[in-house]
Amino acid sequence: MKKILLLIGMSSLAILASAQTVFNVDAPASIAGGYDMNYATTSSWGVADLTLPASSVVDTIAFVADATVGDSLGCNALTNGVDIAGKIAVVYRGDCEFGKKAKNAQDAGAVGVIIVNNIPGPPVGMAGGTFGAQVTVPTVMVSNVTGQMLADAALTDDVVVFIGNKIGRFANDISFYQKDVRRPITYGNIQALSQNASEFSTEMGAWIFNYGVNPQYNITLEAVVTFDGVTKYSNTVSTDSIVPGDSIYMALPDYSQSTYDLGYYGIAYNVTSDSTDNSTADNAVVTGFVMNENQISYGVIDSVTYEPIGESYYRPTGAVSFGMCMNYRNDNASRVGVRGLTFSATTFNSTDTTVNLVDEYVQIEAFKWEDNFTGIADAAIDNLISITTGDYDYTQDLQGDNVYVDFNQSFAMEDGQRYLFCVTTESDNVYLGYSSSLDYFANQDTLDQPISVVNSDGTLNLRGFGTDQTPAMSIETIDVTEVGIAEAKEDKILAYPNPAKNFISIPVGSVEVKSVNVYDIAGKLVSSQSINMTNSIMTLDVSTIANGTYIVALKYANNTTSKINVVISK
């Protein structure tokens, strides 16, 4: 293994608000609405600026066909040009550059191109490659789920979609999106630092836009917070009017509780006016946060496993050393320690589809960030003091799977101290996971603090509030009293029989076990076990687990953990 140096440079951050560019299905009515997409930009394509209304396109879709069998990848000259001409072409991702697919569709007469992701997950960013500069028609990517929906609908109906900036498209059109709503400072929050309303509260409100032609009157914004089917917060606020092309911020009372139970809290915003809206798909925004015991994250985490969810994967084009970093600070941070980081990676974005993650090397690192900047405008990457590191070598091709990596030494955090937690790779094939369904832009003027940092070619580019890409990584915390103790417990517990065939017994004494997970040696979760105790001995059923070497990870009520190596042989 080799050590990766996180090269530090200085950069400034500009927060720019861009016009809303959307992918909307107009017909049939059964699937009408807005869907997530990424679009080709002028940086590596010959396309017009899709943020300008004049660049928009609306038309019927048509799936391309070439010499390949099954879902066409569009890597060769199209054989159904007569069906594509004058339509928005649909093609599947895979085998060749995005630019080549779009160029082939454009050559057949397409007025726009939709590229469907060929793997589960949201749309990814698209570099134009060799042919991108020759593509002038709007080109977007949608998820595999959206692509399947379009394909199913096209079997019986003409599917009409709109791609572009929607300003002035409808007579009555009030709108808002994920970037426009207030949300908690972090998505994954821990109870230890959220013990009451003073320690955890959320400003509520949203920016509301009038993209329509007509003035809008009597606009009402509603926000509801629910937990386990119970409404915890419900408020509305109204304003008199918004003229066409204008926007207004509508503030609601703060949301807080005296205590917070573990689990997912849903936040639903909805806006209405006294006009009949001609485009209702963007009148509601659903978001939320998770309260849990150990995981801190800006990105989305699973509400059951509390592990981060990689919704998209990214690395800067041409980057040699690349890392994603997460900024964190809390006034009560001294209550907890930090044990390690969880993240995911993929090579699916690589132009070489034969590349996998085996033998790829990733380093994690924790820093004290000593700059006392007062906001994003004067934020600089300087005075970083390394606290500890950790290393991970991929021994399996764990595409998109979470891996957890221990720091070489756990440490206690300090109240009010700013930290930077980083995952770094020098491989140009490794893309790290991000959450693309969140956007902290509306929090900017209140918090005025960076969230994450992307390390590229020796400089650190602050990706703060105003970006819709936050690291799909989480900080695993432990009780501060267990710093330096949790790691030492691993050699104190023995499992038997070992090797095991169908069942494993683990004596745990009087300590309360809260969760049991079985991982393979590459760190992939194999089984989450129910807790079955008899006379202080826990029994695990491994009858369905294949032969091999595994790690049994125990998490206790006092937030300490143990890891036990076991062998299954049948």
| pLDDT (tens digit per residue) in 468-503 | 668 899 999 998 887 875 443 443 467 888 888 888
- Mean pLDDT is highest, among 6-20, 80-94, 114-128, 552-566, for 80-94
Q: Which residues contact 128 (CB under 8 A, 6 or more apart)?
A: 40, 44, 45, 46, 97, 98, 99, 135
Q: Bigger pLDDT: 139 or 401?
A: 139
Token look-up 């660049």 returns 55
Least confident of 114-128, 333-347, 371-385: 371-385
Distance CA 364, CA 317 (A): 21
- pLDDT of res. 16: 28
Distance CA 142, CA 312 (A): 12
Distance CA 458, CA 421 (A): 17
Residue 321 scores a pLDDT above 60: yes
| pLDDT (tens digit per residue) in 510-537 | 778 888 888 887 667 888 888 888 877 8
Other beta carbons less than 10 A from residue 198's beta carbon: 10
Mean pLDDT for the stretch of residues 252-272: 96
- pLDDT of res. 8: 33
- pLDDT of res. 487: 47
pTM of the model: 0.74
Categorize the per-residue pLDDT at 127 as very low, low, confident or very high, splitting at 50, 70 and 90: confident
Percent share of the chain, pLDDT over 70 = 84
Q: What is the dihedral of CA 185, 173, 26, 287, to 10 degrees?
A: 10
Structure tokens at 336: 């907890």
Torsion-angle region of 419 (φ positive above 0: left; ψ -120 to 50: alpha; else: beta): beta
Cα 231 versus chain centre, distance: 26
- pLDDT of res. 527: 87
Percent share of the chain, pLDDT over 90 = 46
Q: Which alpha helices (DSSP H) does 176-298 contain, by range? A: none
User: Of 17, 41, 19, nearest to 169 (Cα)?
Assistant: 19
Determine which helix (DSSP H) or strand (DSSP E) holds 84, and give its type and residue range. helix 81-84
User: Of 383, 379, 341, nearest to 8 (Cα)?
Assistant: 383
Residue 27 scores a pLDDT above 70: yes
User: Of 219, 248, 252, 246, nearest to 234 (Cα)?
Assistant: 252
Distance CA 322, CA 426 (A): 6
Residue 336 scores a pLDDT above 90: yes
Domains of the chain: 21-165 (3.50.30.30), 174-292 (2.60.40.10), 310-480 (2.60.120), 487-568 (2.60.40.1930)
Q: Which residues contact 481 (CB under 8 A, 6 or more apart)?
A: none
Mean pLDDT for the stretch of residues 535-546: 87
- Mean pLDDT is highest, among 111-120, 217-226, 452-461, for 217-226
Q: How many residues does the chain have?
A: 570
